[in-house]
Amino acid sequence: MALIELNDINKTYNNGQPLHVLKGINLQIERGEFVSIMGASGSGKSTLLNILGILDNYDTGTYHLDGKLIKDLNEKQAADYRNRMIGFIFQNFNLIGFKTAVENVELPLYYQGVPRKKRHELAMEYLDKMGLSPWAHHFPSEMSGGQKQRVAIARALITRPQIILADEPTGALDSKTSVEVMQLLKQLNKEDGITIIVVTHEGGVANETNKIIHIKDGIIGKIEENTRHEAWQGSAMK
């Protein structure tokens, strides 16, 4: 069985006017893949990613993660899955403002009950990997967008998750930094074998991944294998 298996997933938002956003999604993602989900704004990409990340639930269909059916989990179980299996990277970084970089990176381990000292050592190690050691004790407000996103990546990696889910990870970054972040993700996939799913509406970003899944109006369109990786210099995506 694939690491991620979606079968006929449907999701309707019911705030006022019912809005059928996902209309029968079928999808399989294997361990170690580096894929992007690409589509226009409002096509349901984030909705899909949130379901994959067990941040949101779906109405009908089945979702198996690592062979386990993810359905009607209680919040405690869901939190545990998120903590151990999944690392999140968000467009707006989602760092906690009153915590320093290293404290932010430590936080997932805090919820695993890892002792303080060990936690701190590991967090420093991951920050170092991101080239951010000198910034460890700075607050997010003192860092650039690229630095913040690298802190967020360190935080996503520190629990050694099997999957990284990134929702428009370059959406708030300039072109140069965007390239750097994508290079980083590519490297993580290649060297550590982490399964990475990136949601984007930018062709240039999608082109960095090995497989591009097109989504349109809540339905999966064509799935492209992408081995050529045309040279991308950020500005080319426009």
Partner 1 sequence: MRELFHEIGSSLRQNKLRTALTGFAVSWGIFLLITLLGAGNGLMNSFMGNMNQYVSQSITVEGWRTSKPYAGYKENRRIHLDTKDLSYTQGKDWEGRIRGVITATTGTSLTLTLGSRTVDGWMEGKMPQHLEQEKLQMAAGRYINQGDMDGCRKVMVLSLAQAKELNPDEPEAIIGAWVSAGKIAFRVIGIYHTDEQSWRRSCPIPYTTYKAIYDPSDKIESITFTVEGPRTLEEHQAFEKEYGDAIRRRHSIAPDDQRGIWIDNGYTQNLQMSNASRILQIAMWILGLLTLVSGIVGVSNIMLITVKERTHEFGIRKAIGAKPADVLKLIIAESVSITALFGYVGMLLGMVACEILDKTVGQKGVNIGFEEIKMLVNPSVGVDVAIEATVLLVLAGTLAGIIPAWKAARVKPIEALRAE
Q: How far apart are alpha carbons 75 and 54 in whole angstroms?
A: 10
Stretch that binds partner 1, among 27-35, 61-69, 81-89, 218-226 (CB under 8 A): 81-89
CB within 8 Å of 36: residues ≥ 6 apart: 197, 198, 199, 200, 205, 206, 208, 209, 211, 212, 213
At 175, the amino acid letter reads: S
Helix (H, G, I), strand (E, B) or coil at 66: coil
Picked from partner 1, Mg ion, ligand ADP, none, the partner binding residue 76 (CB below 5 to 8 A depending on kind) is partner 1
The residue within the footprint of ligand ADP, chosen from 9, 29, 36, 46 (CB under 6 A), is 46
Positive or negative, the Cα torsion across 142, 119, 171, 13? negative
Question: Could you give the C-alpha distances from 99 to 91, 94, 104, 137, 157, in angstroms and in order?
Answer: 19, 12, 6, 9, 18
Instruction: Choose the stretch contacting ligand ADP; rule: CB under 6 A; options: 43-51, 73-81, 89-97, 172-180.
Output: 43-51
117 SS3 class: helix
Select the span of 2-10, 12-20, 41-49, 59-67 touching Mg ion (CB under 5 A). Answer: 41-49
Nearer to ligand ADP, 48 or 105 (CB): 48
Kindly state whether residue 47 participates in binding Mg ion, applying the rule CB under 5 A. no
Nearer to Mg ion, 21 or 127 (CB): 21
Query: Which residues, 93 to 112, sit near partner 1 by CB under 8 A?
Result: 94-99, 103, 107-108, 110-112
Q: Which amino acid is at 153?
A: I
C-alpha separations of 97 from 100, 121, 122 in Å: 8, 21, 21
Does residue 140 interact with partner 1 by CB under 8 A? no
46 scored as a contact of Mg ion (CB under 5 A): yes
List residues binding partner 1 (CB under 8 A): 50, 53, 55-56, 75-76, 78-80, 82-84, 88, 90, 94-99, 103, 107-108, 110-112, 116, 155, 159
List residues binding ligand ADP (CB under 6 A): 13, 15, 19, 21, 39, 41-47
